[in-house]
Structure formats: structure tokens, C-alpha cells
Amino acid sequence: MSLRIAVPGGVLLDGACALLTRAGVAQVRPESFASQLLVEDGRNHLIKVRPTDVPVYVELGAADVGIAGKDVLWESSRVVYEVLDLGFGGCRLVLAAPEGSGLAGGEWPASLRVATRYPRAARRFFDRIKVTAELIKLHGSVELAPLTGLADAVLDITATGNTLRANHLVEVAEAERSTARLVVNQASLKTRATAVEALAAALRRAVQGEAVASR
């Protein structure tokens, strides 16, 4: 039985294509989606969608399964099964403050204004560490917020730390870690169980093989 697989564009696209190919699920490269967003690979249909739309396609059953960053799932209210940690696309959600600020020196102010693209993960983090923070939801270029006085600090994703350094921001604390995940529609998990399980098993083998190889 064929599956409809939602593949995220953006930073996860290369890793997703590499993993699907290595696992023998589909012979697909990022360029495969250059001229068309829907690719048919013999058995499966691959759909390239915006990273934040993957849970939408999967919840509503337009795709049976999808590859989504955990950072997308934090902020999504969509009901999907999170079946497998795919290992790639690793990044961290960190609280960062301007160099030389009190917070960067480890002094937590009584009240804190934080700019973030991840308000739900941020709320969870500040609840956990019991800090009162006023959250400002932004859609991009979060690192500008402290420079312009919009916020005292940012809570944002970092993979290498380069963007933080370039904007003179210092990591203060780590809130969450994210990697790519395999998500499955709740009905497809039941009605296409054999195909979904075969896909999950193939991806698991490929992920574990990679982990062994990189040791």
C-alpha cells in the first residue's frame, strides 16, 4: 500500500531526502522538488511543504506520514503520532542575552521581556524554571529584539551558535533540544498499519546504522 509522505522544505530537506534514500523508502534528492512539489516514486507520493505545515497535512490526512522538526511540534496543536526520532537536524532552543548584560552574567532580573518564535516552548521553559517572563512573539530575526530594545533576551533555535555570536548574544540557558521526527496520522496508523510500520522500521534501521557508523 502506498503512503503519502510530507517532506519539509528548508533546513531539514537535505537530511530528509538523504534518510529516505538511505532507508530505501524513496530515491529522492532536494532537486527532485525543484520543478514540482509532488513527486511520485513508484510506491510512495512525496509532498514538499513548508516545515510548519507538515503537522497540518498529517493531522488532516492529506499526508499519511511526515517528517517534522520537534521545534515545529512544540508549537503545533495538531494531533499526530510522534513515532520516531530521526536523529538529524539537531538544534537547541536557548535563552540568549546581550554580551555584558546582567542576565548574560548570570543575574536574573525580577522581570524579563523575551522575544521568541516559540511562545509555547518558552512558556513551558519559564514555568519549569519558575521565572516570570513577558513573551513577545516574533516571526523572524529574533536576534534584533535585544539590539533595538524590544526585549531583554531572546529564546531561539541555534545549531552552531554563529547567529548568536554575530549579534553579540550569549547563551544563558538551554530550554529544549530538537531533532527531526517521523509523525503519523492517527487514522493512517490504523488503516495503513502495515505500510506505516514497514516505513518506520526501515527509517529506524537507517537511523541506527548512521548512529553506529558515526561512532
Q: Please report, as ranges, the residues that interact with another protein according to CB under 8 A.
A: 56, 58-62, 77-85, 181, 185-191, 193, 197
- Minimum Å distance from CB 3 to another protein? 12
- Closest distance to another protein from the beta carbon of 169 (Å): 30
Instruction: Compute the distance between CA of residue 112 and CA of residue 47 in angstroms, rounded to an integer.
Output: 41
For residue 2, the minimal CB distance to another protein (Å) is 12
Minimum distance between the CB of residue 193 and another protein, rounded to whole angstroms? 6
Query: Which of 167, 185 has the CB closer to another protein?
Result: 185
Q: What are residue 8's DSSP bridge partners? A: 49
CB atoms within 10 A of CB 51: 22
Give the residue with the Cβ less far from another protein, 55 or 146.
Answer: 55
CB nearer to another protein: pick between 129 and 187? 187
Report the residue number, 117 or 181, with the smaller CB distance to another protein. 181
| Least CB distance to another protein at residue 83 (A) | 5
Residue 141 or 186: the one with the smaller Cβ distance to another protein is 186
Rg (CA), the chain: 19
The residue among 80, 85, 45 whose CA lies nearest residue 69 is 85
Judged on CB neighbours under 10 Å (0-12, 13-18, 19+), 190 is exposed
The whole-angstrom separation of Cα 124 and Cα 63 is 29
Alpha carbons within 13 A on the beta-carbon side of 198? 11
In the three-class reduction of DSSP (H, G, I as helix; E, B as strand; rest coil), residue 107 is classed as: coil
